[in-house]
Amino acid sequence: MTIKRTNHIIHDDEVEIDSFQLQIMFGPSYKEDIEIAVNSIFCNCGAQSKKLVNYKSYLNNLNDIILKGLCNSCNTFAARYIETGERKGIEKIANRIRKLNKA
């Protein structure tokens, strides 16, 4: 059995963003994208239905989003990486958020 970390590692390039900024990053498909992401997390607890809960959102250098929270089944730390960096026009939005939050 592997032992999971007891806390999340926040990398240097990751900036925490709020739920409104998260919404802006995804645009109109926000609800659907987040729903899919939180319901498809990797966790080695083996539970049939797992969901990411109590998560915080981070924006990284690649303009991708990382949700870090807890697996609702085993209550240990879990994360979900979402590749938003490829989206059209995302760089402008991401840069604005980064500038705002790093200040």
Question: Does 73 participate in binding Zn ion (rule CB under 5 A)?
Answer: yes
Give the residue with the Cβ less far from Zn ion, 17 or 41.
Answer: 41
Give the residue with the Cβ less far from Zn ion, 25 or 43.
Answer: 43
Question: Does 74 participate in binding Zn ion (rule CB under 5 A)?
Answer: yes
Q: What is the largest CA-CA distance in the chain?
A: 43
Residues 39-58 that bind Zn ion (CB under 5 A): 43, 45
The answer to whether the CB of 44 falls within 8 A of the CB of 2 is yes
Binding stretches for Zn ion (CB under 5 A) = 43, 45, 71, 73-74
